[in-house]
Chain A
Amino acid sequence: MAILETKNLTYTYGIGTPFEKTAVDNVSIAVEKGEFVGVIGHTGSGKSTLIQMLNGLIRPTAGQVLLAGQDIWEKPKEIRRVRFQVGMVFQYPEYQLFEETVLKDIMFGPKNMGLSDDEAMERAKEAARFTDLKPSLLEKSPFELSGGEKRRAAIAGVIAMDPEVLILDEPAAGLDPKGRDVILAQISQYHAHRNNTVLLVSHSMEDIGRTADRVLVMNGGRAEMLEPTRTVFARGDQLEPMGLRLPQITAIMRRLRAMGLPVSETVLSVDEALMELIPLLVGRKDGEVQPK
């Protein structure tokens, strides 16, 4: 059974005003347990509204969100329990830090779940390990940390709730290249270790290409595709009209293939590309790669 499913999910802003706009339009998708799903789409394609409905922050105007088969709005009073199971890391999450110390801030979520101080602290320390925050940082004020550290502390604050589904909205936005790599690697590691379900929203096709099992493509409020990453990125001609593009490495390898090199059609990461290109270089004889 799918862990997270939506049925004809729709959200319309400002019903009855001149500003009425359907942000999410009849979306029916299913995400399996343990999957890593990338979510891509042009700005204004409805990604943010969609993910906020998945953990009950926004109530849909029509349709359902099913968490492990249960409609999350069946008992509106217990919506907080859904939020503990579907963890959400917003864009620029460091702006939500508020406690005196980093540790206390990470403990905020677990304590809201009703855990004791000891349990919450245990959870917080484990989450800090996952996000590679040094123990010495935990007693500092969150406002003393560097940008990347703040970001990781904020992500730890959500991971500490140990959610069944983790949704991250642009977790690497605004970080330097190294910070990006660190955050993404940690998310992948966390996913591999916990084997929970992850939804990653990103504008970086490269990040999606190297992390996601499947990709959800949003366009104009509709879910255009939810297919394995390789299938989605094999359809570059369909992505382009939606304001999306292929990962750079995928595009390069396609061009090489078009020039006649024997490489596969859809390559998703630099590592994969190396695996294909090195044998070709090793096999060369007269200083040039031979076209087929």
Chain B
Amino acid sequence: MISDITMGQFFPGKSVIHRLDPRVKLCLTVYFIVLIFCAQNFVTMAATIFMCLLGIALSRVPLKLYLKSLKPILFIVVFTGVLNLFYGTGEPLVQLGFITITRNGILNSIMIAVRIVVLILISSILTFTTSPTQLTDAIERLLKPLALLHVPVHEFAMMMTIALRFVPTLLEETEKIMAAQKARGADMESGGLVQRIQALIPVLIPLFVSAFRRAFDLATAMESRCYHGGAGRTKMKVLKFGRVDFVSLAICAAFLAAFIALNILIPPAVVR
């Protein structure tokens, strides 16, 4: 079923990670993603993986859900991993016709696979523990400096909030319409590519009609509550830094110092 997709789903909770300020979470997510790609040797790599696992443990979201979020990208991980295997430099370990596998190639492919997995896990921590509203709030706040350049930051954030808000609604709607058309004998499981695309028409047209209907309804509802965009608008829940935020920022700063030192001191795993 469509609703089984876990990527980007929010799981309400009260863990430390849930309580972190969304701005901090967003920045730290980017920070760790950058770190995992900068890690040159096994020590720094392991340290970053450890931080990622620590985040998972602290989030108190069942591990099963993290594993489920990895499922859709399994193919990409294997594909890039295998591809990297053949592009190593240095002394060949195995030579089979035009295929050459080197030590560097093996290390490279493992590292790439691990990096992608960690990337997904880290972003899952963010999306599992942060509601879409909090997330767009954080983005709006972080992008605020751009407003000086006349970028409509608030409108952009509002559009994103609405889009995210309606993803589950439209998924549910899609399922309902599909069920209704299947009940009229629509065949969506068999046939060639052309037939399958044609079979989508009875689903897509009602879906678009209903998406537009919802858009008009929402616009009316917003206008009847006198919504007029960002200027002078205050927030009900003002984002505020707390103790957890300062502590985690401090830890991550210390981690960064250690990371840079170790990354320079210990020779890289892949010798260029």
Contact = CB atoms under 8 A, between A and B. Distances in A.
Interface string A157-189: 110010000000000000000000000000000
A83 B186 CA distance: 10
A271 to B, nearest CB: 33
A87 B201 CA distance: 21
Nearest to B68: A17
B183 interface: yes
A57 B185 contact: no
Interface stretch (A107-115, A262-270, A280-288): A107-115
A98 B206 contact: yes
Classify chain A: how many residues form its interface, as a range: 20 to 34
Consensus secondary structure, chain B interface: helix
Contacts of B64: 17
Most chain B beta-carbon contacts within 10 A, residue among A83, A88, A95, A161: A95
A88 B209 contact: no
Nearest to B209: A143
A55 B183 contact: yes
B62 interface: yes
A96 interface: yes
A254 interface: no
A115 to B, nearest CB: 11
Contacts, number: 59
B176 A57 contact: no
A266 B176 CA distance: 38
A230 interface: no
B183 A88 contact: yes
A199 to B, nearest CB: 13
A52 B179 contact: yes
A97 B184 contact: no
A112 B187 contact: yes
B209 A93 contact: no
Interface residues of B, number: 20
B186 A95 contact: no
Contacts of B205: 98
B182 interface: yes
Contacts of A97: 206
A257 interface: no
Nearest to B182: A57
Interface in A182-200: none
B186 A87 contact: no
B226 to A, nearest CB: 28
B191 to A, nearest CB: 12
Contacts of A88: 180, 183
B184 A98 contact: no
B65 to A, nearest CB: 8
A84 interface: yes
A98 B208 CA distance: 10
A95 B202 CA distance: 11
Interface string B144-186: 0000000000000000000000000000010011011111111
B185 A96 contact: no
B183 A83 contact: yes
A57 B186 contact: no
B62 A96 contact: no
A90 B180 contact: yes
Interface in A66-116: 80, 83-84, 87-88, 90, 93, 95-98, 108-109, 112-113
Contacts of A98: 201-202, 205-206, 209
Contacts of B202: 96, 98, 108
B76 to A, nearest CB: 25
Contact of A87 (B179, B182, B183, B206): B183
B183 A57 contact: yes
Contacts of B209: 95, 98, 143
A18 interface: yes
B187 A80 contact: yes
Given A80-B187, A109-B184, A143-B209, A18 B62 contact: yes
B60 to A, nearest CB: 12
A157 B184 contact: yes
A76 to B, nearest CB: 10
Interface of B: 62, 64, 173, 176-177, 179-187, 201-202, 205-206, 209-210
Given A55-B183, A90-B176, A98-B209, 12 more contacts: A80-B185, A83-B185, A90-B179, A95-B177, A96-B180, A96-B184, A96-B202, A98-B205, A108-B181, A109-B184, A112-B187, A161-B185
10 contacts: A57-B179, A84-B185, A87-B183, A90-B180, A95-B176, A95-B210, A96-B181, A96-B184, A108-B184, A113-B185
